[in-house]
Structure 1
Amino acid sequence: MNDLFQSLFQLFESSPVLVAAYDGFDRLRYANRAFRSAYFIEPEEMPFWPDLMRRNHYAERGTVIRAEDFEEWLISTQSRRGKVGFRAFETDLVDGRWLWMTETVQEDGWMLCIATDVTDLKASTREVRQDRDLAIKASYTDELTGVANRRFVTARIEDMLQGQVTDESPLPGCLCVFDVDHFKIINDQYGHHNGDLVLKDFAKCIHRLVRRTDCFGRVGGEEFVLTLPATSIEQARLIVERMLVGVRKSRPLKDRPDFKYTFSVGIAAAQVGDTAISLFSRADRALYRAKLAGRDQIHIDDASSDRPSQIG
C-alpha cells in the first residue's frame, strides 16, 4: 500500500494538472507542485484558503479578482464555496493563464480541487462564459451583504434534508433563523444608511464563525438563516452562543462609537419527514419565542430538545 501511495504522490507531483485538497475548515492539506507554483505556496505550507487568497491578492499574483473591495468579494465567495457536492468553473491567473477548476466535496467537508490549463481553448467565447458565471454568482448573492440569498440558502436546506432516510439514520443537522433586534428602531433613529451598515456588519460577524460546510444567507430584511449540516442541537447552540458574543462586542457605526446591537435566534433540528418549509417554520417559531422572552438570546424548538431551551 505504501508503494501505491508513493507512486500516486509521484504522479501528482509530476502532473501539469493542478491538484489540491482542503479539509473541512478550508485549510490546505495537500497541493502538488503545479498547484503550489500557481498559487505561490511553499512545500510544507498549509494555509487556510482565505489567507492564501488574501496574501496573493495584495501581492498582485495568483487568481485575478475583479472587485473593488477584496473583503466583500471574500465573504461573497465563501458563502458559496464548498456548499455543493460538485461544481466547475473557469478562473484566470495574474500571469495570463486560464484554468478550468473543479471542486468535489465530501460529506465531512473535505474538498478536492483539480484545475486544468485551458488558456488556448475557445478564447473567443471566454468573455461570454465569464459573463455567464458572473450572472450565476449574482443570482445566488444578496446584493447588500454579499452573503448567500434566499434562493441559494433554500437549496442548501433541501440538500441537508436529503441525508434524512430512516428513523435509524443520523439526522442531517440544524437550521437557525436570525433576526437583528429592534431593527426598525435602528432604521428610524439612525437612518437607512446606518441600518444598511448594521446589516453588513452583522453578516460579517456571523460569517467569521461559519464553517465551510455550513451555509449562511439573508432571506429578507433583517432576517438571516444558517444551515448546520451533520450538527447536533447542542453543537448548534454552542456555535450560535459564540456568534451572540461576537455581535455584542461589535461597534459598526464609526461616527457613533457607543452604538451597539444584538440579535435573536431560533434553532430547530431536522426531523424525519421535514421539508425545507416545515423546518424553517419550526426554527422561525423558536425565533419568535426568543423575541418574546426579551431578545438577545437563543431559543430551541420544543420538538428538537426536551431540555430547557432558553439561554441568555
Structure 2
Amino acid sequence: MSIFISVEQVPFAVITLNLQFEIKHVNEYFLRHLNPEYIWEYQTGRNLLQANSVHDTVVTTLLEGSKLNSDQLIFWKDCPYPLPLLTASAIKRENMACQVNIIYSDDQIYLIASDVTNEVRSTKEYELAATRLLHESQHCSLTGIYNRRFVTEQLKRNYSLSVREGQAQTCALLLLDIDHFKSINDKYGHNVGDDVLVWFAKVLTSVFRDTDIASRYGGEEFLVYLPRVWERSDVIRVMERLYETAKKTPFRLSSGDEMQITFSSGCYCMLTNDDVENSIHKADQLMYLAKKSGRDRGYFQIRDRSNPIPFIPDNHGDQ
C-alpha cells in the first residue's frame, strides 16, 4: 500500500509490473495522459508486452534489462508524444521530450516516464545562445562577415601550427581600403556610409573562395586571408576578379542612382610561419602605396624577394 501511495504522489507516470511483465498498478498521472480507449490495455493483470500501444523500444529494453537484471534508461528527444510508452495516437499532447527509467527490484519492475521538455528546451536555448554569442564574437554586426579578432586569431593559430610542425604553407594577406570614404559619409550621411560597407562586404564574399577569410578589419578597411596564394599570376587573377566585380555591381543609392565606389589594396604573399603582425604591416604599406599612387589600384609583393608590383584595373589602361 505504501508503494501505491508513493507513486501517486509523484509528478510523472509510473507503471508497476511483476517479473512476468504483468501490470500490478498504474498511477493517476499516467492515466491522465492516456486516451480512454487504451485504458483496457493497462488493467491490472494484463501483460504489458502484449499491449498494442507500447512502443517497440520499450519492449526491447524491458526484455534486455530483464536478462541483465540492470536498470535501463530510454530518452526521446523531440518526440511527437509525451509518454514514449505509447503510440502517437494514444496521446492528447504533442511535441514533448520524455525520459523513461526502467528500474528492476527483487519482485517487480517500475517504468517511470517523466516529461523532460523544459530541461531539453533549456538545453536548446543554452546551445542557441552559445552559438549566437560565438557568431557575434567572430563576425562584424554591420556587414555580417568575419571581424578583426577572428581573422587575426586564425592567422596566429596557423602561425603556431606551422612553427610547431616545422612546415609552412604559402598564403597571402590582402588589405583593402575604400577610397574617399570620409567624403561619402560627409556628403550622404553615415547611413549611406554603412550601406557602402555592407555592399563592399557582399562584393568580397561573392569573389573569394570558401577557404578564404574575408573580414572587416576596422572602419573602412577589410582584410582577406588567402591560403595557398603565392605566384604573381595568382595575385593578379584575384585582383582582376575583385576589381571587375566591384565595377560590374556598382553601389546604388536609395534614389536608384549608381555610385562607383573605388578602393585601394595591398597584397603581401607570405608563409604561414612568418610573423603575423609584420606581414599585416607589409600589406598595409602596400595599400598606402596604392593610395599615394592615385587610388583605385593595388600593389602586391611576394615576400621579400621582389619590389612592390603595381596592379592597375583595366579601366585605367594597360598595366
Short-chain TM bin = 0.5 to 0.7
What fraction of aligned residue pairs are identical, expressed as a percent?
Answer: 32
Partner deviation per Cα, 1:148-203 (whole Å, 9 max, x = no partner): 0111111122234346459x955431111010011111111121111111110000
Change (3 A) 1:202 1:304: farther
For structure 1, the residue ranges without an aligned partner over 5 or more in a row are: 1-91, 99-118
- Of 127-136 and 243-252, more deviation after overlay is shown by 243-252
Q: Match of 1:270, SS?
A: strand
Equivalent residues of 1:177, 1:265 under 8 A apart? yes
**Would you say the 8 A contact 2:235–2:300 is kept in 1?**
no
> What does 1:192-271 align with in structure 2 at a 5 Å threshold?
192-234=190-232, 235-254=234-253, 255-271=255-271
Distance 1:263 1:304, change over 3 A: farther
Distance 2:119 2:245 in 1: 47
3-state DSSP of counterpart to 1:159: helix
Contact 1:175 1:269 in 2 (8 A): yes
Distance 1:257-1:233 versus aligned 2 partners, 3 A rule:
farther
Seen in structure 2, the aligned counterparts of structure 1 residues 290 and 253 have a Cα distance that, compared at 3 Å, is same
- Would the alpha carbon gap of residues 304 and 209 (structure 1) be closer, same or farther in structure 2, given more than 3 Å must change? farther
Q: Which amino acid aligns with 1:228?
A: L
Residues 170-179 or 295-304, more deviating: 295-304
Kindly indicate which of the two structures has a greater share of residues assigned to strand: 2
SS at match of 2:258: coil
The DSSP-based 3-state class of the residue aligned with 1:265 is strand
Distance 1:185-1:171 versus aligned 2 partners, 3 A rule: same
**TM-score, normalised relative to structure 1:** 0.57
> What amino acid is aligned across from residue 283 of structure 2 in structure 1?
A
Please point out which of 117, 138, 141 is paired with 2:139.
141
Q: Is the 8 A contact 1:163 1:172 kept in 2?
A: no
1:289 — aligned with what? 289
Structure ranking higher on relative contact order (CA contacts 8 Å, 6+ apart): 1
The match for 1:299 is 299
Q: Which runs of 5+ in 2 are unaligned?
A: 1-77, 79-94, 98-116, 313-319
How many residue pairs match? The answer is 197
Matched residue, 2:3: none
CA RMSD of aligned residues (A): 2.9
Alignment correspondent of 2:172: 174
